[in-house]
Structure 1
Amino acid sequence: MTAPAPLRLFLRSLRRLAPGALGLLCLTGLPAQAQLATKPSAFRAAGEVDPTPPVAEAYRARIGGQVDFDRLARRYHRGTPLELPHLLFLIDRQQGDRPYFINTRRFSLHEHFLARGPLHLRLDHAALAANYRTPDRRFLLGTLAWQRSTQQWTYEFWEGDQLDAHLLQAAQRSLQAAFFAPLVFKANAQAHERVATTAGLPFLSQAQLIREQAFLPLNEGVAKGRVRLVPAGGIVADADPQDILVLDEVPISLPPVAGIITSRPSTAISHVNLLAHGWGIPNAWVRDALTAFAPLDRQWIELRVTREGYRVQPIAPQALVKAQQGRALPRPDLSHPALAPLAALRAPDRSRCGSKAANLGQIRAARLPSVQVPDGFCIPFARYAEFMNGAAAQALIRAAAATPHFDEDPAVRHAALDTLRRELVALPLPQAWSAEWLAQWQAQLGGAGVFVRSSSNSEDLPGFSGAGLYTTVPNVRQAEALSEAVKTVWASVFNSEAFEARRAAAIPLDAVAMAVLVQTAVDSRRSGVMITRDPFDAAHRGASYIAAKRGIGIKVVEGRRIAEQVMADARSGAVQLLSRADEQSELALDEAGGVRERALDEASQHQTVLDDASARRLARVGDAIRKLFGGHDQDIEWATTEGEQVIVLQARPYGRQAPRSSASAGLARRAAP
């Protein structure tokens, strides 16, 4: 069968690419395990089998060359970018630090070698654990591997291994004397980096390994659509649901699209990735993506993003967007217009105040150790409905919708909605409303600066993400500014990204309700987002992913700069640094209102944002909140003050699971900060 003419032209354009470019488009990326510097482990191999038959020998006393290494090395994902050749080693300190390079295809764990190898030692759990926990241990147990991204041989230990400088120096001497090539210590935890520094040994950090990667699968999936390149400063508000966007910058938000590729690193908790996660579409970081995808601009492709890499295949041009049935939103309770203090809110109050406010009320009521929720009050859905159903607001909404070409032209819609928002904010409010809000602000919150935040019923439903779609007005301090801030949040229902997202999901405007949370502002020393699981590897149990920066955390979820990223492991107690913060400034509350940017001194720019104790404390808080909400993994916005008090600013289930019927687990999902 002959391919359609447009498809033949597309295939010819692929053949004209520079040598090697097609390979990049068809399969690229290095191991997700290497990107996150995960130690190769049979516990995490999920039943993978190395198909190469193992040789008979149990171990070697030295590795004299590549052939010796290959005879003993285990290789998961053989022939794919995830392949990471490695072997276990054991150093017996009672035998003068004698090394054993273990046949890792025969003995998948160190204890297997101890029991069934030449030493014939069956250690109970306590004796085995002592070889990771105590300085007078008999054995040093680790892994040796070839790092393709840095072209280095490395040795490493379990991230929870409490080795000291003396043990690390002994390991370096023993291994290097018996190995044919230079070896570098790979630190699997921040504690390991400190030990290496004390020992005077160079080391390869996890952050260094991650920086060498050319690919990161932020959200796996398959998309069929039309490639659209968006250079720096390009507009994404008019993107089509059939577009596969290739972005030079990570935008704060975007309308529904088929898939996302970014050419600059992002984080797992950027608004864009949370949108992709909620919509179930592929999203990946690909170094030099605009160059790699340039020959495909405006072409129709299938994009497949997996842990191993990404694949691009040409498809015939076609309309791929299916008609959607209108999505049912949680029905708002419009019968309670009275203000609701945060301390009085519980999970069922999401029907009048939205999930953001209800979740925070639930956490506040639980009085979790080391957790504080800033005080505030909710302006319920009923007030929004009364304002938007008024004659003046309805006339403005009808006029915007009647703009010529509003339905068919995204640029026209964008301009009309921008005008509509300004006009809605300019509408007067009943004087009694403003007086009531000001009185509550003074009586309950002492008139201190407040964040005026969205809490909608149209955010992060199963299959629909609302991350970053609605507006927050930060640090309102003047009385006359409160009413305008509330109207600004209400009007953000007509933010272009929010309007386009609901339009693509066939959510009717009259089903949308917006509550407002007026909450005491916190001048954070540090802030960020935490996910109570490893978002890159579901098999990594007991892990918490934390993104952090100095100051107020608005930029963390924007994703424009890389936050400090760490993984805190409850089982090992280790804190793994995945990336350092790329920040030269921080945000702070401005005494005149709003926020201001201030420069970080040189020393702060080179220090980690979180130390190990702070990361573990946050992980414990996250685990407590996860348990509070029925065991669902949580996406939590947090902050800390000078006194290290943990402030929780938002919590919502992480993932696309449908809410349970229980009071605590039946909350709506992601809400914008």
Structure 2
Amino acid sequence: MRPLPASRGLTRPSLIVLTALGLLTASIAPAAQAQTARKPSPYENQRPLRPDEREARQAENAKHAGPAFLGQITSQAEFQQLARVYNAGTPLEIPHVLFVIDRQRGDRIYYIDTPRYTLHENFARERRLLPGQDKDTLIAQYKDPNRRLLFGTLSWQRDLPGYTYEFWEGDRLTPELLALTGERLRATFYEPLRFKANSTMHEQTAQGAGVEYVTQEALLREQTFLPLNTGRAQGRMRIVASVEDTPDLAPTDIVVLDEVPVALPPVAGLVTQRPSTLLSHVNLLAKGWRIPNAYVRDAVAALREHDGQWVELTVTSNGYQVQRIAKPDVSATPVKTAALPLPKPDLSVKAIKPLTGMSTRDSRHCGVKAANLGALKSALPPLASVPDGFCIPFAQYAAFMAQLHVPERIAALEQRPDFASDATVRRAELAALRQDIVQAKPDPALAAAWHDSWQKQLQGRGVFVRSSSNSEDLPGFSGAGLYTTVPNVTQADALTQAVKTVWASVYNFEAYEARRAAGIGQDGVVMAVLVQQAAASDSSGVMITRDPFDASRRYVTYISAKRGLGIKVVEGKRQAEQIMYSSWSKAVQVLSRSAEDTQLVADAAGGVREVPIEGSRQVLNDALVARLATVGSQIKLRLGNADQDIEWAVQGDKILILQARPYVDGSR
């Protein structure tokens, strides 16, 4: 057949437009659907029409030319006559037609004039196929195996290419109903079709019916664009092979990378040409910085002509645009960053604090990370548990820095014009400062207390030594990935060194630059240290307690997962398994399976090592996904009902919670 027309991006040399692969839905705005391939319930945010509304709809329908439905589609022209198209005029454009099968009337099929009827329900009620106005009758058409009506959608998938048919992800299809649908479509549609499974449940149904199917993951794999954070920025575009080898990155740079880096100083915008998890540290920082951030396939080649040029980058839900601009005169209009106040630390608490017994109020001397975990330790069982640990409070850090005269040293550096103006100078001076901190000897009594708590409370087992500063996990500044974590510390001398390493990470270049860009005063930063028992996790990852693509979907949990320890998930250097779970539909939707062929495991001698992954790449089963989502809901409830970004691990049958911070959504 001749492919359906699809528009092309603008091709002027100074303008590049690329839009996402779109996957149709029946009843929502297309911005979220393009990224998640979800097909929400037609009754999800709808209500039945009132009599006056129905009369108005009928009057409006009378104005439409052509039939309200067809019993068969014999040509492309007939399909287009009935089709609705979201995002017309872009490559996201995908025509789709709603259909209804009436099992009470000899399995009669109706291909609906889709622009005329917003929902299957509206057509069915108008045609008196759906008696009554009650919601239960409607819901039965999605849940009851003996239902009268089947509600589906037929679409043209440009990137297959070909037609697919699908159902809402929560539809409790049986193999018999799916087989019936395929039979009726084949008998009444002019081209071959493939079933598109919108949940793992649908995949299992298709297997039971012996029906070949296309997965959401397969379609999303062809996606050439993903908006990780929408927005607009002006800056100098730089194609960078490695952030680590590019010490002169500036806040005015728009960076194009081969993959998501482990760490990144503040920049004006970010484009990567390999997909990664939405919850990598760098992506979370981009949200906090409110900078445009996108995955674009073959971005280096597509944007090569703009390398070194001043451009405006715009990232929207449907695509991105790069346009040349004149270099802004920044000296004429200096940018003033509004200062971000930090929580004032309480330095009166000097003793080590066990996690058990801590509450959120303890953030005053141990930071939000440690305090949240302490509060959750008693609140989550039996759903989940928090590995035991203890906090070395702010006061011990402050005393050590005072002993080394670090505040005076930083104040002197900030008075130097070269330090203030040259990022290369700042990087070198901060590296020297970190080295001095790590090499200095702490108070022997303090070090002995750390070792004593490690031996008595944690039985000298391997621990993760982590940051818990007053400049991370804040509602407007996550600080994700800015400070150092030392994994699987197993020796006493290594514990002392790890604590100093975490203290020194206050002056990691990326952390200093991020605070500087946010207007955070460097003299207000203090660091507590969380020493927490290591978990030999089978799988681990991160979850958000709402749909990150659509803030209105509060009943959705987004989960990223990989096998082994979770360091690779938050680094985001390879694509994780990505799952969406709806507490409404109970459907599990797979956006991607893990792209990893190795995993990290704890080394008996300390630290971590990489080992090959054997067997299936699938990380989570449906039951575990549902359990994780339930735990996420409880954490959100316990932490003020604000959406959370949660690090988790699974050990055997146990769910472990390693961190919970406010989810910062910097979209604009």
- Fold similarity call, TM over 0.5: yes
Q: 2:616 aligns with which of 586, 589, 604?
A: 604
| Conservation of the 8 A alpha-carbon contact between 1:543 and 1:568 | yes
How far 1:508 moved relative to its partner? 2.6
Q: Deviations along 1:430-461, whole A, 9 cap, x unmatched?
A: 11011111111111111111111000111254
Q: 1:578 aligns with which of 578, 584, 591?
A: 591
Q: 1:214 aligns with which of 224, 239, 255?
A: 224
| Conservation of the 8 A alpha-carbon contact between 1:368 and 1:624 | no
The residue identity in structure 2 corresponding to 1:29 is A
Q: Deviations along 1:560-579, whole A, 9 cap, x unmatched?
A: 00000010011100000000
Partner of 1:438: 451
What is the correspondence of 1:114-153 to structure 2 with a 5 Å cutoff? 114-117=124-127, 119=129, 121-122=131-132, 124-153=134-163
Q: 1:651 aligns with which of 655, 660, 664?
A: 660
How far 1:617 moved relative to its partner? 0.8
What is the correspondence of 1:413-432 to structure 2 with a 5 Å cutoff? 413-432=426-445
Partner of 2:371: 358
The residue identity in structure 1 corresponding to 2:584 is R
How far 1:535 moved relative to its partner? 0.7
What is the correspondence of 1:529-568 to structure 2 with a 5 Å cutoff? 529-568=542-581
Q: Which runs of 5+ in 2 are unaligned?
A: 1-8, 23-30, 48-56
How far 1:392 moved relative to its partner? 5.9
Q: Provide the secondary structure at the position in 2 that maps to 1:454.
A: strand
Q: Deviations along 1:535-565, whole A, 9 cap, x unmatched?
A: 1122334111000011111000111000000
The residue identity in structure 1 corresponding to 2:575 is I
Distance in structure 2 (CA, Å) of the matches to 1:301 and 1:278 = 22
Confirm or deny that 1:468 pairs with 2:489.
no
How far 1:267 moved relative to its partner? 1.8
Distance in structure 1 (CA, Å) of the matches to 2:629 and 2:89 = 36
Partner of 1:592: 605
Partner of 2:16: 25
**Worse-matched range after superposition: 134-143 or 282-291:** 134-143
Partner of 2:508: 495
Change (3 A) 1:331 1:237: farther
Partner of 2:492: 479
What is the correspondence of 1:319-334 to structure 2 with a 5 Å cutoff? 319-320=329-330, 322-334=335-347
What is the correspondence of 1:244-323 to structure 2 with a 5 Å cutoff? 244-320=254-330, 322-323=335-336
Identity of aligned residues (%): 53
Distance in structure 2 (CA, Å) of the matches to 1:630 and 1:395 = 38
Q: Provide the secondary structure at the position in 2 that maps to 1:545.
A: strand
| Conservation of the 8 A alpha-carbon contact between 2:261 and 2:282 | yes
**Worse-matched range after superposition: 336-345 or 49-58:** 49-58
Distance in structure 2 (CA, Å) of the matches to 1:343 and 1:500 = 35
Distance in structure 1 (CA, Å) of the matches to 2:161 and 2:352 = 62
Q: Deviations along 1:44-85, whole A, 9 cap, x unmatched?
A: 7999x9999744523211011122112222223333444332
Q: Which runs of 5+ in 1 are unaligned?
A: 1-17, 658-673
Distance in structure 2 (CA, Å) of the matches to 1:233 and 1:515 = 28
How far 1:509 moved relative to its partner? 2.2
Q: Provide the secondary structure at the position in 2 that maps to 1:638.
A: strand
Q: Deviations along 1:584-615, whole A, 9 cap, x unmatched?
A: 111111111111111111x233xx21111111
Partner of 2:626: 616
Change (3 A) 1:392 1:120: closer
| Conservation of the 8 A alpha-carbon contact between 2:474 and 2:661 | no
Confirm or deny that 1:458 pairs with 2:471.
yes
The residue identity in structure 1 corresponding to 2:647 is E
Distance in structure 1 (CA, Å) of the matches to 2:312 and 2:245 = 23
Partner of 2:39: 39
Q: Deviations along 1:310-339, whole A, 9 cap, x unmatched?
A: 122222211456122443211111111111
Aligned pair count? Answer: 635
The residue identity in structure 1 corresponding to 2:553 is H
Q: Provide the secondary structure at the position in 2 that maps to 1:69.
A: helix
Distance in structure 2 (CA, Å) of the matches to 1:506 and 1:538 = 28
**Worse-matched range after superposition: 50-59 or 290-299:** 50-59
Change (3 A) 1:117 1:20: same
Change (3 A) 1:539 1:111: same
**Worse-matched range after superposition: 220-229 or 313-322:** 313-322
How far 1:134 moved relative to its partner? 2.9
Distance in structure 1 (CA, Å) of the matches to 2:353 and 2:263 = 30
Distance in structure 1 (CA, Å) of the matches to 2:85 and 2:17 = 23
How far 1:341 moved relative to its partner? 0.8
| Conservation of the 8 A alpha-carbon contact between 2:384 and 2:631 | yes
Q: Deviations along 1:447-503, whole A, 9 cap, x unmatched?
A: 111111000111254543411000011111111111111000000011111111122
Change (3 A) 1:164 1:443: same
How far 1:22 moved relative to its partner? 4.0
Partner of 2:385: 372
Q: Provide the secondary structure at the position in 1 that maps to 2:529.
A: strand
Partner of 2:646: 636
Give me the CA root mean square deviation: 2.6
Distance in structure 2 (CA, Å) of the matches to 1:23 and 1:30 = 23
TM-score normalised by structure 1 residue count: 0.89
Partner of 1:97: 107
Distance in structure 1 (CA, Å) of the matches to 2:61 and 2:102 = 30
Q: Deviations along 1:335-385, whole A, 9 cap, x unmatched?
A: 111111111211111110000001111111324541100111100000000
| Conservation of the 8 A alpha-carbon contact between 1:417 and 1:494 | yes
**Worse-matched range after superposition: 566-575 or 93-102:** 93-102
Partner of 1:664: none
How far 1:619 moved relative to its partner? 0.7
Confirm or deny that 1:343 pairs with 2:352.
no
| Conservation of the 8 A alpha-carbon contact between 1:26 and 1:313 | no
Distance in structure 2 (CA, Å) of the matches to 1:527 and 1:581 = 12
TM-score normalised by structure 2 residue count: 0.90
| Conservation of the 8 A alpha-carbon contact between 1:280 and 1:463 | no
Q: Deviations along 1:181-210, whole A, 9 cap, x unmatched?
A: 111100000111122123222211111111
Partner of 2:165: 155
Distance in structure 1 (CA, Å) of the matches to 2:249 and 2:527 = 25
Distance in structure 2 (CA, Å) of the matches to 1:499 and 1:46 = 48
Q: Deviations along 1:267-302, whole A, 9 cap, x unmatched?
A: 210111100111111100111111111111121121
**Worse-matched range after superposition: 498-507 or 154-163:** 498-507
| Conservation of the 8 A alpha-carbon contact between 1:226 and 1:243 | yes
Distance in structure 2 (CA, Å) of the matches to 1:394 and 1:113 = 71
The residue identity in structure 1 corresponding to 2:237 is V
The residue identity in structure 2 corresponding to 1:224 is Q
Distance in structure 2 (CA, Å) of the matches to 1:51 and 1:332 = 65
**Worse-matched range after superposition: 262-271 or 117-126:** 117-126
Distance in structure 2 (CA, Å) of the matches to 1:34 and 1:613 = 27
Distance in structure 2 (CA, Å) of the matches to 1:234 and 1:521 = 28
| Conservation of the 8 A alpha-carbon contact between 1:471 and 1:492 | yes
Confirm or deny that 1:512 pairs with 2:525.
yes
